[in-house]
Each structure stands twice: as C-alpha cells, then as structure tokens.
C-alpha cells in the first residue's frame, strides 16, 4: 500500500513538472542558438575574407542584431543588410 502511494505521488509530481515546462520555449531557444552559431561562424569567415581581425564582441553584437531583425521581419537579407550597417556605424568599421 505504501509503495502504491509513493508511486502515485511521484507520478503526480512528474505530470505537474511536465505541465510547467514550456516545450515551445525550449524549441525556440534551441533554434535561436543554432542560428547564432551559424551567424558567428559566417561573421568570422567574412572578417577573415576582408582581412580584418575577428572580434568576439562585434560578432556577438552583429548576431544579436541579426537574430532580432530576422525574427521581426522574417527576411534573411533585410536582417543582414540592416545589421551590417549598424555594426559598421557602431564600431567604426
């Protein structure tokens, strides 16, 4: 009897925990981090092609800008263009 009560208690707690998890939020976070990884890698390659020193702070700023713009506009090219201009202006590139 005691074992059954313990099992029910554990099951109820598990179901409550699953109910509080926001799976959509977790999926969105994973998607954002993957996009960010690709962005940083592409930024690094672009800096090397331009024979400029890679700066992690500039990369983070640019990729944060890109991700925000991409989410707002759903346009890859618009986000790239806007964030390139903002980065050039803010970091005097």
What pLDDT digit, counting tens, does each position of 48-88 carry? 898 988 899 999 999 999 988 988 888 889 999 999 899 98
**Which residues, at least 6 apart from 47, have a Cβ–Cβ distance to it below 8 Å?**
53, 54, 55, 59
The domain containing residue 80 runs over which residues?
22-91
Per-residue pLDDT tens over the stretch 10-26 = 666 665 565 655 655 55
Contact predicate 82/65, CB 8 Å: yes
Is 4 a member of any domain?
A: no
| Model confidence, pTM | 0.64
Residue 57, pLDDT score: 92
Q: In this predicted model, which residue has the larger pLDDT, 14 or 44?
A: 44
Residue 74, pLDDT score: 83
Is 3 a member of any domain?
A: no
Q: How many CB atoms are located within 10 Å of the residue 62 CB?
A: 25
Number of domains in the chain: 1
């Amino acid at each position: 009897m005691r074992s059954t009560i313990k099992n029910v208690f554990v099951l109820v707690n598990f179901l409550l925990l699953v109910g509080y998890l926001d799976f959509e939020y977790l999926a969105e976070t994973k998607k954002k981090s993957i996009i960010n990884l690709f962005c940083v890698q592409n930024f690094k390659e672009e800096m090397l092609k331009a024979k400029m020193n890679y700066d992690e702070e500039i990369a983070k700023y640019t990729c944060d800008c890109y991700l925000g713009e991409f989410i707002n506009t759903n346009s890859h090219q618009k986000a790239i263009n806007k964030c390139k201009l903002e980065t050039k202006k803010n970091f005097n590139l």
